[in-house]
A and B are shown apart, each in its own frame.
Chain A
Amino acid sequence: MGYGSAPDEPETGAGSDAPERYRPVSERAAAVRPSASTGEHAAPLVEALLRLADDRLVLGHRLSEWCGHAPILEEDIALANIALDLIGQASLLLEHAGQVEGRGRSADALAYFRDAVEFRNLLLAELPNGDFAVTIVRQFLWSAFAVPHLKQLSASADATLAGIAAKGHKEATYHLRHAADWVLKLGDGTVESHARAQRALDELWPYVHEMFRTDDVEAPLVAAGVTIDPSTLQLAWRESVASVCRAATLKVPGDGWKAQGGREGRHTEHLGHLLGEMQILARSHPGAEW
C-alpha cells in the first residue's frame, strides 16, 4: 500500500480499519486526555525531584558504561567515581520523591519500574556516550550547570533536598574540574583531539538549552523557595562555558535548533534502550529482593 495517495475512505478520524467502538473519534474527543505518562504531571515537588534524580541516574548510568573500556586506567577510575556520585545522588532524590509522593514507591521502584515516558531527565543525559570527547564535553556542559544549581538548592526550603544538594555540590565541583581539565587537554591537545572536541561541542549544543527551561510545574516551588528557576543560571553558565572554551581554543556554537521534551517524558529513542538494559533483571523477577 502506498502512503502518497489521497485517502479513498470516508473521514472517520481513525480510518475504517479501526474497530467500530473507536469510530468516529470526533464524538469521543472530549474524553481524550493526556495519559499519566505523557504530559500529565505529578505533584510539583515529586516532579521536581524526579527531574533532578533522573538527570543523575541516566547520566550516571551512561558514565558507568565506560567502566573497563576507558582510554586510560585513570579514567576508568575517574568516570566510575563520577558515575557512583551521580547514582548516589539520584538514589537519595528518588527516595525523597517516593516519600513525598506517598504511594509507597521506593527509590528502586521509581528507578526500575517506570517506563521511558515517565522519566523526566534532560535529553542531554540520555544521548549515547559517543567517543571520549562527547562524554567529556557533555559532562562539562552539564556539570557547569549542576554546580551552581546544587549550590542554590542547598538553601532550599525543603530540608531534605537542601541536604542532598549540599552533599551533591561538593561532588559536582570535583566533576566539573575533572571535565574542564579534559576539555582543555582535548581542545588544546592535538589536531585530532581538537576536531573531536569541537565536533562534540557542536553536536551537543542543541541539547543544552533544555537545562534552563522554566515551566509552570515548578513555579509554585520556585515561589516558595523550594527549587530555583533554572533560567536564572543561564547567563553565568554561558560565561563560564565560554571562558573554558576560549582557553581550550574551542568555538562556542551558535544557538540553532533547541531540542527539548525530556522534562515531559518525550525522549529520544535512546532512553528506551538504556532502560531496557538497566531494568531487565529487576523486571524479570517482580517482587524479588536483591
Chain B
Amino acid sequence: MTPTNAAAPPPPETAEQLAAFEARIAAGEYIEPKDWMPERYRKQLIRMMSQHAHSEIVGMLPEGNWITRAPSLRRKMTLIAKVQDEGGHGHYIYCATETLGVSRDQMVADLLSGKAKYSSIFNYPTLTWADIGVIGWFVDGAAIVNQTVLAKASYGPYARSMIRICKEENFHKRQGYEICAVLASGTEAQRAMVQDAVNRWWWPSLMMFGPGDASSPNSEELLRWKVKRFSNDELRQRFVNLTVPQAQAIDVALPDPELRYDAASGDWHFGQVDWNEFWQVVKGDGPCNRERLAARNKAHDEGAWVRAAAEAYAARRAGAAASAAA
C-alpha cells in the first residue's frame, strides 16, 4: 500500500496520461485500483469514500439510541438488523477505500481526531421513536438518491459497493416509511410524534445533498470524472419530488410553506434551505457533534486492550505455526 501522505511527491502526470484517463471515463469504462489515475482523482475518491464510510459508522449512534427502547419485538429486531447493516456498509466501504492506498486505521484515526467529516445529518438527536421511522424514510431515502447515482461512479470498487449497499438502503427506507405510516394512522399521540419528527428531520435531510451548485466548488471536475453524475441541486430536487407524494399518502405535512407543485417543470418547488445552519453543523457546532465524536472515541479507547489482545494472540499463533513448520 502506498501511504497517501508520503514525503516523496507523486510522479508527474503527463498530458497523455490524463487524456487517456479522461477518454476511458468518457467511454464509460470503470477505473480499477491498479489503473493509472490522476492524484486529484485518487484524493477526491478517498475523501468521498472515507466520508461515506464514516457516515455509516457514526450513523449507527443515533439509531442505536432506540434499540433498547424499540416498542415491539419485531421493531427491535429490524432496528438491530438495520444498525448492523450500516456497520456492514461502513466496513465494506472502508475496504473499498483501502484499494486507493489508505489504511482503515488511518481513516479511523482521522474520524476520531475530527479531521475527517461525516454526514452532518447524524449530528441531530433522535428524540422519539418516530425519529427511527423518519430517518429510514428521509435519511436512507436521501442516501438512495445519492447512491443510485454513485453506483454508476467511474471508480469500480466504489460503484460495486454502492450497488450492493443500495439494495439494503432500499429495504431500510421501506421499513422506515412503514414505521411512519403506522404511526400516522395510530393514536393521537403517535400522529403527533411522527409529525414532530418530520418537522425536525425534513430540512437537515435536504442538506444531505450538500451546498447549492453555485457554492459547490468541486463539482465541475467531479462531474467530468464521473465521480459524481448529477449536481447537488439536481439530486435534492429529485429527493423532494419523490418524497412529497409519500408524505401526502400517509397524511403528514412537510414543514415548508413554499412547497408547491410546478406543473411546467414537473418539480415540487421548495423553500430556501438554511445554509447557515448547514455550515454551523459541518464546522462542528451541531446539536450532537461533540457527543458523536466522544462516543466513537470512547468505544475506540475502551476497546484498545481488546484489539491489542487480538493482535498479540494472532502474532503468537503465527509464531507457533512458523516454528511448527520449521
A→B interface (CB under 8 Å): 61, 64-65, 67-77, 80-81, 83-84, 87-88, 90-91, 94, 107-108, 111-112, 131-132, 184-186, 188-190, 192-193, 196, 277-278, 280-282, 285, 287-290
Does B242 interact with chain A (Cβ within 8 Å)?
Answer: no
Which B residue sits closest to A65, measured CB to CB? Answer: B68
Q: Which of these binds chain A: B79-87, B244-252, B257-265?
A: B79-87
Instruction: Digitize B56-95: 1 where CB-to-A-CB distance is under 8 Å, 0 elsewhere.
Output: 0100110010011111111111001101100110110010
Cβ–Cβ < 8 Å partners of B69 in chain A? 277-278, 280-281
B314 vs chain A, min Cβ distance (A): 8
> Is the Cβ of B310 less than 8 Å from the Cβ of A107?
no
- Known contacts A71-B306, A90-B73, A277-B69; 17 additional CB pairs below 8 A are A64-B67, A67-B84, A70-B299, A71-B304, A74-B91, A77-B87, A87-B77, A108-B72, A111-B73, A186-B306, A188-B313, A189-B308, A189-B312, A193-B305, A277-B68, A288-B186, A289-B186
> Is the Cβ of A290 less than 8 Å from the Cβ of B182?
yes
A116 vs chain B, min Cβ distance (A): 16
A260 to B129, CA, bound (A): 36
A281 to B80, CA, bound (A): 17
A184 to B145, CA, bound (A): 45
> Is the Cβ of B295 less than 8 Å from the Cβ of A68?
yes
Cβ–Cβ < 8 Å partners of B16 in chain A? none
A282 to B295, CA, bound (A): 27
A32 to B16, CA, bound (A): 95
Which A residue sits closest to B66, measured CB to CB? Answer: A281
List the 5 shortest-distance A-B pairs measured between CB atoms, nearest first: A71-B303, A189-B309, A193-B309, A71-B306, A68-B64
A94 to B76, CA, bound (A): 15
**A67-B67, A285-B71, A290-B72 known; A72 vs B84 contact (CB < 8 Å):** no
Q: List 23 A-B contacts (CB under 8 A).
A: A64-B76, A67-B60, A69-B298, A70-B299, A70-B303, A71-B302, A71-B304, A74-B91, A87-B76, A107-B73, A108-B72, A112-B71, A132-B303, A132-B306, A189-B313, A190-B305, A193-B309, A281-B129, A282-B72, A285-B190, A288-B71, A290-B71, A290-B129
A102 vs chain B, min Cβ distance (A): 20
B→A interface (CB under 8 Å): 57, 60-61, 64, 67-77, 80-81, 83-84, 87-88, 90-91, 94, 129, 179, 182-183, 186-187, 189-190, 295, 298-299, 302-310, 312-313, 316
A290 to B299, CA, bound (A): 31
Cβ–Cβ < 8 Å partners of B84 in chain A? 67, 76-77, 80-81, 84
**A80-B84, A88-B77, A290-B72 known; A67 vs B316 contact (CB < 8 Å):** no
Which B residue sits closest to A90, measured CB to CB? Answer: B73
> Is the Cβ of B81 less than 8 Å from the Cβ of A84?
yes
B187 vs chain A, min Cβ distance (A): 5
A168 vs chain B, min Cβ distance (A): 15
**A87-B77, A190-B308, A193-B305 known; A285 vs B189 contact (CB < 8 Å):** yes
**A68-B299, A285-B187 known; A185 vs B310 contact (CB < 8 Å):** yes
Cβ–Cβ < 8 Å partners of A278 in chain B? 68-69
A272 to B44, CA, bound (A): 51
A75 vs chain B, min Cβ distance (A): 8
A193 to B75, CA, bound (A): 36
Cβ–Cβ < 8 Å partners of A87 in chain B? 73, 76-77, 80
Cβ–Cβ < 8 Å partners of B295 in chain A? 68-69
Which B residue sits closest to A281, measured CB to CB? Answer: B71
A69 to B87, CA, bound (A): 11
B126 vs chain A, min Cβ distance (A): 12
Which B residue sits closest to A277, measured CB to CB? Answer: B68
Which B residue sits closest to A111, measured CB to CB? Answer: B73
Cβ–Cβ < 8 Å partners of A111 in chain B? 73
> Is the Cβ of A91 less than 8 Å from the Cβ of B305?
no
Cβ–Cβ < 8 Å partners of A88 in chain B? 77
> Is the Cβ of A68 less than 8 Å from the Cβ of B60?
yes
A87 vs chain B, min Cβ distance (A): 6
> Is the Cβ of B306 less than 8 Å from the Cβ of A76?
no
A65 to B61, CA, bound (A): 11
> Is the Cβ of A61 less than 8 Å from the Cβ of B312?
no
A264 to B67, CA, bound (A): 28
A192 to B76, CA, bound (A): 35
